[in-house]
Structure 1
Amino acid sequence: MELIKRFECYVKENELFSQGDKILVAVSGGRDSMLLLWLLHKANFSIEIAHCNFQLRGDESDADEKLVRDFAEEHSIAFHVKNFDTINYAESNKISIQMAARELRYAWFEELRAKRNCKVIAVAQHINDAVETVLFNLSRGTGLQGLQGILPKRNDSKVVRPLLFLQSKEITDFVQQLGIPFRDDSSNFSNKYARNKIRLDIIPEFEKLNPEFVTIMDDNIQRFRDSQQVLYSFISRLRNEILILRGKDSWQMLKSEIQKLSMNELYFMLEPYGFKKNVLQDLLGSLDKESGRQFESENYILVKDREAVILSKKSETDEGIQIEETDTKVLWNDYQFNFEISEDLKVLYDKGVAQVDFDEVIYPLTIRSWEEGDVFQPLGMQGKKKLSDYFIQKKINILDKKQVPILVNGDGRIIWVVNYHLDERFKIRDNTQKVLKLVCNLRTI
């Protein structure tokens, strides 16, 4: 049959699933999902049915469930159903009924998919749904991403949409021709919901202008996808060329390279990190000014350094950890510290090792980040120095200095600016009897 061949070709071309995979089919009882169920069954795919009863339409909801259950029993297909208290969930989470139903069903679908060892979850969205999504996104404001409609599958999702090669009117015709049982959801004919209003009121007006409006929009959506792919490829190359990895969740961009970019190129390059255009405009306008200025998005931060701009993920506030005399190993951020009390007074020259006069140590010790007002007496110096001035002298930028571990004595004195400088007051002396040896290494996962 021609329809089944078209279906199988679409599944294969889009690599949605293969003949050996088990598929969880979301079936409401409407014509779209019943046609999807029928096609999967006729094409001899291994399937199980998932049906949600949202208990929103009384006897109608129960009749939907019975229709799907009867089909499953008639064709010996595993059937799963779950009743939801949708109204209570919506009220508790302060969301719409539609959003509540969506959250409930997809959470259950994924739970059931994993439990039943199904490869994917198949849902019955079609071309008209994709067109409605684009119009809905346009009404709220969107870019190219929002003009792509509904994709057959996304890389990070187990949900696939095998009916996106069919229009709604084709589905209606096939269901009638093939005698496939279905039930109409009365709520689909109410225009109080935004998507229904687009379907029932807005698209028909466009079709008066051009009867082939849905077909034309489907072609437009494909062009939008092609354009997005070209943009994505160009920006990915640009990002790989300009963003230089400097550590975990941290990159740098040379100012000279940024100055070659247009505002739009910079925006799209940093789009995954959430920076708004007005923030990036401020960045461009201040490139030749003083270093140290910061620009923030929700989860990332840009800091102007001398010759570069540093991009880093915002670090969570890390409380200091305490070390007792009995501790031999502790972890802090990306570092592991090992402790050993020894009578070996031989001095080791390694920036990742500190040897401390044990008689000066007061427990508990603390490892924490730099704090405003920190001072210490660098090894070999007579007077004290502000840690902030020390970082400036060492050309350590504001992002990096927050990641430098500071080892603090029980009386509040700084013992070691880890991997940089020991405090003079804790060095090994001629009368030292015991040594606390501290070794700092990057953590291995």
Structure 2
Amino acid sequence: MEILKRFERYVEDNKLFSKDEKILVAVSGGRDSMLLLWLLHQLYYPVEIAHCNFQLRGEESDADEQLVRGFAVANEIPIHVQRFDTTGYAATHKVSIQIAARELRYGWFERLRMERGCKVIAVAQHMNDSVETVLFNLSRGTGLQGLQGILPLRDDSHVVRPLLFLHSEEITDFVQNQGIPYRDDSSNFSNKYARNKIRLDIIPEFEQLNPHFIRIMADNIARFRDAQEVINNHMQELRSQIMIARSDHSWRIAKEELEHLQLSELYFMFEPFGFSKTVLQDLLESLHKDSGKQFASDTYIIVTDREDVILSKKNMDLEPVHIDLATTRVEWGAFQIEITGNSDLAIENGAGIAKIDTASLVYPLTIRQWEEGDTFQPLGMNGKKKLSDYFIQKKINILDKKRVPILVNGDGKIIWVVNYHLDERFKIRDNTQKVLKLVCNLK
């Protein structure tokens, strides 16, 4: 049969799975998922069924479950069924029923996939679903990325979609001709939901203009993907040239490099980090103003420095590390600190070396990030200084100061701004008998 051959070719061309890998098939009981299950079973792929009963349609939901169970038993296919309190979940998490159902099913699918040793989760979205996604994204406002439709496989997911080559009419004709059992979900025929309205009301209007609208759009989507790939390749090359890695998820970019870019180039360059064009326009306008300005997306932050801008992932807070008498080495952030106790009182120069009078120590010591309100007494000074003022004096930007290790005594006093300045109260004195030596290096 032609569809069987096309299915095998699509799976192979997109490298979705092989017959050596067990597949968890999401089966609702509708025509799309029943066709997917039937195709996989006919082609002898090792499969297991995952069916969700969201208990939203009463007897209809139960009838869907019975249909899927019956097919599984008749064809000796392992089946897993999960019933969800979808309404309760939506109320507790303050999300819509649609979002609740999505979170519940994909969370369960992934747990089940790992428990059962399945390589992928196969779901039955098709060509029409991909077109609906593009129209939905356009209605809300989107860039080229939002015109990619539904991908058969994403790098960050175990979910595959092997039916995207099929039009919904082909699916209906095939399941009816083959006598594949299925049930229609009555909620799919209500235009209460945005996607249903697109499918039931908007797409038929386009089909009045062009009966082949879905296939034309599928071709357009393929061209959008090609264009996106060209842009991605160019932007990846540009990033590798001007973004200098400082650490994991943090880069430095010279301001002069950004000045040569058009706003559209800047947008595509920063697109993976979630920045809008409006924010990036503000960034361009700030390049010659005072440093320290911040620009944020949901997951990343940009801070302007004197000659550069710094891009870093948000919420990169580091957990404190404790040091007791037996500790000889600790790691914190990008640093490792070697710790030794001895009676060598000779002063050693070097930003990464500190020698501390052990008589002044209260254990456990702690290495942590700076905190608002921190003060210390820099070596050689009589009075205290706010750590925030010290960072400004040293021209340490807001992102970097979170990565400076602060060594704190058990009584809360700062001992050492690591790699920068020792506190006067912990220096070697004339009556010092024993010292704690700390040497800090990059890992």
TM-score normalised according to structure 1 size: 0.90
Alignment of 1:364-443 (within 5 A): 365-370=365-370, 371=372, 374-378=375-379, 391=391, 394-409=394-409, 414-424=414-424, 426-442=426-442
1:442 shift after superposition: 4.1
CA distance in 1, matches of 2:411, 2:88: 55
Check 1:206–1:329 CA distance in 2 against 1; reply closer, same or farther (3 A cut). same
Gap change, CA 1:385 and 1:55, over 3 Å in 2: closer
CA distance in 1, matches of 2:388, 2:71: 73
Aligned length: 442
Partner of 1:68: 68
Asked whether 1:258 is paired with 2:269, we answer no
How many Å separate the matches in 1 of 2:349 and 2:125?
67
Q: Tell me, what secondary structure is at the counterpart of 2:95?
A: coil
Of all paired residues, the percent bearing the same amino acid is 67
| Pairwise CA distance, 1:211 | 0.9
Partners in 1 of 2:382 and 2:56 — Cα distance? 78
User: 2:271 corresponds to which residue?
Assistant: 271
Matched residue, 1:293: 293
Distance in 1 between residues matched to 2:58 and 2:387, nearest whole Å = 69
Q: Assess, with a 3 A threshold, how the Cα gap between structure 1 residues 384 and 140 changes in structure 2: closer, same or farther.
A: closer
The answer for the alignment partner of 1:171 in structure 2 is 171
**Secondary structure of the equivalent of 1:7?**
helix
1:141 and 2:117 correspond = no
Match of 1:123 in 2: 123
C-alpha distance after superposition, 1:186-214 (max 9, x if no partner): 22222222211111111111111111111
- Could you tell me how far apart the structure 1 residues matched to 2:48 and 2:433 are? 74
- For 1:348-363, list aligned pairs within 5 A: 348-361=348-361
Mapped contact 1:340–1:436 kept (Cα < 8 A) = yes
Q: Which digits, 9 at most, give the CA deviation of each residue in 1:65-104, with x for residues without a partner?
A: 2222222222211122222222222222222222222222
Report if aligned partners of 1:376, 1:387 keep a CA contact under 8 Å in 2. Answer: no
Mapped partners of 1:69, 1:185: distance in 2: 17
Equivalent-residue separation in structure 1 for 2:298 and 2:333 (angstroms): 21
Paired AA for residue 104 in structure 1: L
Runs of 5+ consecutive residues of structure 2 not aligned to the other structure: none
Question: SS state of the match for residue 270, structure 1?
Answer: helix
Task: Report deviation, 1:250.
Answer: 2.0
SS at match of 2:29: coil
Aligned-partner SS, 1:44: coil
- Rounded to whole Å, the distance in 1 between the matches of 2:27 and 2:246 is 49
The alpha-carbon deviation at position 405 of structure 1 amounts to 2.3
Q: Which stretch of the first structure deviates more once superposed, 147-156 or 329-338?
A: 329-338
Q: Deviations over 1:201-244 (max 9, x none)?
A: 11111111111111111111111111111121111111111111
The alignment status of 1:51 with 2:51, answered yes or no, reads yes
Q: 1:163 to 1:358 in 2, by over 3 A?
A: closer
Q: Give the unaligned 5+ runs of structure 1.
A: none
Give the 3 Å change call, closer, same or farther, for CA 222–318 of structure 1 in structure 2.
closer
- The answer to whether the Cα contact below 8 Å between 2:376 and 2:423 also exists between their aligned partners in 1 is no
Partner of 2:220: 220
Structure 2 partner of 1:80? 80
SS at match of 1:402: helix
In the alignment, the residues of structure 1 paired with residue 45 and residue 319 of structure 2 have an alpha-carbon distance, to the nearest angstrom, of: 54
1:34–1:181: 8 Å Cα contact kept in structure 2? Answer: yes
CA contact (8 A) 1:378 1:385 kept: no
Question: Comparing 207-216 with 282-291, which one deviates more in the overlay?
Answer: 282-291
Alpha-carbon separation, structure 2, partners of 1:96 and 1:413: 50
Indicate the residue corresponding to 1:234 in structure 2: 234
Residue matched to 1:105: 105
Question: What SS class does the counterpart of residue 62 from structure 2 fall into?
Answer: helix
Which amino acid is 1:406 matched to?
A: I
Letter in structure 1 aligned against 2:307: E
Q: Which residue of structure 1 lines up, in the alignment, with residue 10 of structure 2?
A: 10
Q: 1:391-440 CA distances to partner (integer Å, 9 max, x unpaired)?
A: 45654334323322233456766533312333455433444322122233
Give me the whole-angstrom Cα distance separating, in 2, the residues matched to 1:100 and 1:406: 43
- Are the aligned partners of 1:378 and 1:384 in contact in 2 as well (CA < 8 Å)? no
Letter in 1 for 2:277: K
Q: Tell me which amino acid in the other structure corresponds to 2:377.
A: F
Given that 1:323 and 1:363 are in contact with CA atoms closer than 8 Å, whether structure 2 keeps it comes out as yes
Instruction: Verify the 8 A CA contact 1:132 1:198 in the aligned structure 2.
Output: yes
Q: Distance in 1 between matches of 2:388 and 2:77?
A: 69
* Aligned-pair CA distance for 1:127: 0.7
Query: In structure 2, what residue type is equivalent to 1:169?
Result: E
CA distance in 1, matches of 2:410, 2:65: 68
- From the superposition, tell whether residues 374 and 92 of structure 1 become closer, same or farther in structure 2 (CA, over 3 Å): closer
In structure 2, do the counterparts of structure 1 residues 45 and 311 end up closer, same or farther at CA, with 3 Å as the change threshold?
same
